[in-house]
Amino acid sequence: MRESGAITATILQLLKKSVKAGMTTKDLDIIAEREAKSLGAKPAFKGYNGFPGSVCISINDQIVHGIPGKRIIENGDIVSFDFGVIVGGFYSDSAITVPVGEVSALAQNLIAATEGSLMAGIARAHAGARLGDVSSAVQNYAENLGFSVIREYTGHGVGRDLHEDPLVPNFGVAGRGLELKNGMTLAIEPMLATGTWKTKVGADHWLVSTLDGGLSAHFEHTICVRNGEAEILTKINE
Ligand code: MG
Ligand code: MG
């Protein structure tokens, strides 16, 4: 899991460094796929339920599951990369949202709030805590800053499969839900929006966007509960 997580983190860092106005989302998908191959890892999403890309790339009002293609990235876009690999049979899953060029103050605040809400959730993911403690920490952090949390898509267990039990919602009530124990591996992944948390699915049956066209950002880490605390397995070492 640790090796898988490190490769996922390395490739997300490469995508963050590589993304520039004028590139297509397919260009970035090719970079990620090539790097995964050279590191001996298999992209986890390619072919998953028929998904055609290696990376989910979602721009501005797009939340998740964007298929890489001909869309050209522009100055001022915020670009979410959701990526994972399989190494030795173990999955890891992580996401970041990156500003391209000059983005609005609202977009900057949204990105910071989304990453902050992820870290707030991870801070509560210790042995003995309940899933609701994690969910409510994410929700409170986001809503206190004036953003909404997407409710129709959630985090999840991860390990031998990309998506395992339990679901890890980004909203909830502290003290409720499954008790976290040492050895559990979870993908915690808040998606925040500037407007409504309601979503719509595109004509390709994959792309999820905000219903009102508001901006959305997405951060995700694969964590392991170990020695009582959350260890981030997909941490980007800058
Ligand atoms: Mg993901
Ligand atoms: Mg995930």
> 131 vs 75, 121, 126, CA distance in Å?
38, 10, 10
CA of 167 relative to ligand 2 center, distance in Å: 10
Ligand nearest to the CA of 219: 1
In angstroms, the CA 22 to CA 19 distance is 9
How would residue 238 be classed by pLDDT, with cut points 50, 70 and 90? Answer: low
Proportion of the chain above pLDDT 70, given as a percent: 100
User: What is the average per-residue pLDDT within 178-183?
Assistant: 98
Q: Which domains does the chain have, with CATH numbers?
A: 2-232 (3.90.230.10)
Confidence band, pLDDT 50/70/90 cuts, at residue 83: very high
Residues comprising the chain, all counted:
238
**Which H/E stretch holds residue 108?**
helix 105-123
pLDDT at 45: 96
Return the half-sphere exposure (C-beta side, CA atoms, 13 A cut-off) of residue 175.
0
Q: Report the chain's mean pLDDT, rounded to a whole number.
A: 97
The confidence score (pLDDT) of residue 236 equals: 80
- Distance (angstroms) between ligand 1 centre and the Cα of 177 equals 22
- Which ligand is in closest contact with the Cα of 156? 2
Instruction: Name the helix (H) or strand (E) containing 9.
Output: helix 2-18
Ligand 1 center from residue 156 Cα (angstroms):
9
Mean pLDDT of 47-58: 96
Identify which ligand lies nearest to the alpha carbon of 44. Answer: 1
